[in-house]
Structure 1
Amino acid sequence: MDNADNLFHPSLAAALIKLDPEDGEQIVEYFKTHALLTREKALLQASVRDQKKLLVENGKLKKDIEELKTQLQEKQRRRTAKALYSQAPPTPTQSPAPTTPVNPPPSPAEATAAVPTNRPPPSHERGDRQSRRRRGERKVRPSSDSLSLGAEPQVDVSRLDLRIGRILGVRRHLLAEAMLVQEVDVGESAPRTVVSGLGGKTNLEELQGGLAVLLCNVKACKIRGVVSQARLLLCVTTDDCIELLAPPTGSTPGDRVTFLNYPGEPDRELQSKQRVWELLQPDLQVDGRGVANYKGCGFEVKGKGLCRAPSLTNCIIR
């Protein structure tokens, strides 16, 4: 207990024994033991830290050794290749001419026929090329279909995946009173969650069970803590009157909305950097008869009719 005696001051031990003659010695021994254990624990922790530091340094040294080994192997390969190249016999530059001709000399007609056909271009063509080089111009090459394969796809309404959906449930957004959260069946195995700006414009009872037109290939995004997986198409006037765009009678969830003048399959997902929706949205309108159209071509559900605004006319769709 010599180490413990050094850690525990003698005057403190004498004071404890004086205060409690019966148990003072046991208390002093307890404190000495505790001090010794604390010191051993500190030494053990320092040893663990040193060990971890050594492991890190060993790992770094091992990596350096591997890099040096790789460099030495590469130098050895280069040295071997250089030695083999220096020992290779030189390639003869010209074969000795035969003392006697093997074949008779060609006739004048044969010599004329043996002249290569790839003659140099005329002097005026060479002059044109040189003048173009001086001007920094290049010869225009004909375009090919293969070059057009990487072109950007055309931006029109056929790239939008518009479907009919039925609103199964609707509630107000907990963090935004002006927004609603709908659960919408669009003909898939599970309904989609949609966040829309209809909070102060429509009664919840009017939306429950109704049909709507949804843009389904937008990228899912979080709106005030709720992930929205589609976009409801709304008819909006200049004085901020809002209605849901209504599908034709007989429509069912999952029906596609198509455009007669714009055939084609929609994008799997609209890329935000291409801004397809932002480019198309100004041309999505409701005409004077209340019919939704893109550049005069109606929103059509095949075999069932056109999509319309319930009561609004001459307004935009967003």
Structure 2
Amino acid sequence: MSFFGITRMASASVLRRLTQRADEAEKIITELKATIELIKDKAAVVESKPEEERLRKENTKLRTEIDVLKTQLVLSEIRNGVKQVALPSQTVIAQCVDKARANVTSSTPVVEKKAEVVEKTENVKDQQKPNKKGKEAAKSGEAKPKKGKAAASGPVEPEKLDISRLDLRVGKIVEVEKHPDADSLYIEKVDVGEDQPRTVVSGLVKFVTLEEMQGRVAVFMLNLKPAKMRGVLSQAMIMCASTPEKVEILNVPQGAQIGDKIVAEGYSGEPDAMLNPKKKVWEALKPDLRTNKDGVATWKGAPLKIEGKGQIVAPSLCDVQIQ
């Protein structure tokens, strides 16, 4: 074999080895790329877990705030005389849909319906045609005069609108339990010095514990119109200093007795037997019912108090709404 032949064989062998190594290198590169992508995916998952946890906590907080706002909305609607209607269940909705379909199936034919409508329309037109006597009366000017409002006998005195119209009294919670159909509501039996305790429904579950409610002496408004809250008739309202984040039951002075009347300095008069929801007396008075910078309950700056015993105060909330 010549020198050139040997050289060609050696070159072919080297070329095969280089090609083989290139293939192996390509395979290794592919495996490395796959490994890198896998590492990137794992890193993304690890980085996203803290973010997911943060979002989960924020969602839980927002859900709680929404529940509180819903409760406050329900209470506000009830105080404004808005009737609460429970939403129908899916079963009831399905039954209504089935009945509607059955009614459509068993309804009269369209042709008969059209004939009935035409007949009714003609009858109405006949009734609307003026008779001869009516025309003659119109021509002779003998038409009946329109009835008007009776003339007032004199000037109407403006209605008094101040805190004395609210029946605020000291009461004691003698029994309390959570509402069976509403997680945010308590049902209380309250002794206000009457023959029988009053039932009061309060949206305080998220702010005051059951143990703190039991036996609590507080201020109650007694002359709001009773209203049902999730099926339970509430006959009074417990008065609280309130913010969206915190609600505190107002404290009465030491020595206060069940049934004691709460008044505001400078405002005298007997409260309404029951506030008329249509006149919105409570809605008009509520904006000026606040705690002052010292936590004392006031109306237009006049402290609320029990004569001879002391003032009504909030445990810690100052300059906030009372409701």
Q: Normalising by structure 1, report the TM-score.
A: 0.53
- Where does 1:69-80 land on structure 2 (aligned, <5 Å)? none
CA distance, structure 2, for counterparts of residue 287 and residue 279 of structure 1: 19
1:185 aligns with 2:173: no
Task: Measure, in 1, the Cα distance between the counterparts of 2:159 and 2:260.
Answer: 25
Higher RCO structure (Cα 8 Å, ≥6 apart)? 2
Deviation at residue 152 of structure 1 after TM alignment: 4.6
Deviations 1:172-214 (A, max 9, x none): 0111110111110001011000001101211111111111101
Which of 265, 271, 275 is equivalent to 2:276?
271
Q: What are the within-5 Å matches in structure 2 for residues 1-318 of structure 1?
A: 147-148=154-155, 150-237=156-243, 239-318=244-323
Tell me how far apart the structure 1 counterparts of residues 255 and 304 of structure 2 sit (CA, whole Å). Answer: 15
Q: Deviations over 1:101-141 (max 9, x none)?
A: xxxxxxxxxxxxxxxxxxxxxxxxxxxxxxxxxxxxxxxxx
Q: How many residues are paired up?
A: 172
CA–CA distance in structure 2, aligned partners of residues 157 and 197 of structure 1: 24
Larger relative helix fraction = 2
SS of equivalent to 2:290: strand
CA distance in 2, matches of 1:154, 1:224: 34
C-alpha separation between the residues in 1 aligned to 2:245 and 2:165?
28
Q: Which amino acid aligns with 1:283?
A: D
Deviation at 1:234? 1.1
Partner of 1:40: none
Q: Please list every run of 5 or more consecutive structure 1 residues that lacks an aligned counterpart in the other structure.
A: 1-143
Identity %, equivalent residues: 44
Q: Specify the code of the residue in structure 2 equivalent to 1:211.
A: V
> Using the alignment, how far apart are the partners of 1:275 and 1:174 within structure 2?
31
Partner Cα distance (2:200, 2:157) in 1: 33
1:260 Cα deviation (Å)? 1.9
SS at match of 2:278: helix
- For 1:294-314, what per-residue CA distance to the aligned partner results, in whole angstroms no more than 9, with x for missing partners? 001011101100000012111
Structure 1 SS opposite 2:263: coil
Aligned-residue offset at 1:317: 0.2
Amino acid at match of 1:236: S
Deviation at 1:162, TM superposition (A): 0.3
CA distance in 2, matches of 1:234, 1:272: 21
**CA distance, structure 2, for counterparts of residue 179 and residue 193 of structure 1:** 13
Corresponding letter in the other structure for 1:218 = L
Q: Secondary structure at the match of 1:299?
A: strand
SS in structure 1 at match of 2:154? helix
Amino acid at match of 1:179: L
- Counterparts of 1:284 and 1:240 in 2: how far apart (Å)? 19
Paired amino acid for 2:270: E
* Aligned AA (2:292): D
**Other structure's SS at 2:264 match:** coil
Q: Which has the larger radius of gyration?
A: 1
**SS where residue 241 of structure 2 aligns?**
strand
- Structure 1 counterpart of 2:255, which letter? G
What's the offset of the Cα at 1:147?
2.6
1:69-108 CA distance string (max 9 Å, x none): xxxxxxxxxxxxxxxxxxxxxxxxxxxxxxxxxxxxxxxx
TM-score, reference length from structure 2: 0.52
